[in-house]
Amino acid sequence: MPEQGAWVWFADLTLAVHAAYVLFVVGGQMLILAGWVCGWRWTRYLLFRLIHLISIGFVMLEAWLGVICPLTVLENILRTKSGAALYERSFVSHWLARLIFYAAPEWVFTVIYTGFTCLVVVTWLLYPPTRKTGHTHGRQSDAK
């Protein structure tokens, strides 16, 4: 059984993964929009766009169903196992948590997640993804 410090480390790692997920969803949408304006072909790659759409769709469904994010649940379990109160965090986890967790009524988050998902879907429709074609006969079809 891991000692208390290991539980805190795993909790901090879970929080970092959670922050990376948020960064992927928000930053990914910003990059997709920038790619649309700048003509970056990679922002239209189907796999990237599909993973991005599914990621925000999952968050929206959690909000609609009133489900607590599994990463939040896992982090709280790990912090409890460490013997720390749920509000006690390391320096890094404290600031990561302040970046991704806010105090507001649940309906506010549901509206935000739904609105953001709508933005992703509208972007999908107006700037649709394409299959990555790669290289053909020595020619670079995706040079950008």
Please report, for the chain, the start and end positions of each structural domain, with discontinuous segments joined by +. Answer: 4-129
Residue 1 has pLDDT above 90, yes or no: no
pLDDT digits (tens, 9 = 90+) for 50-88: 999 999 999 999 999 999 899 989 988 998 888 876 555
Tokens for 46, please give them.
């189907």
Angle between helices 106-126 and 4-38 (to 10 degrees): 40
pLDDT digits (tens, 9 = 90+) for 93-111: 566 677 777 777 888 889 9
Tokens for 110, please give them.
């549901």
Unique residue bearing structure tokens 């990237």: 48
Q: What mean pLDDT is reported for the chain?
A: 85
Query: Rounded CA gap, 138 and 54, in Å?
Result: 34
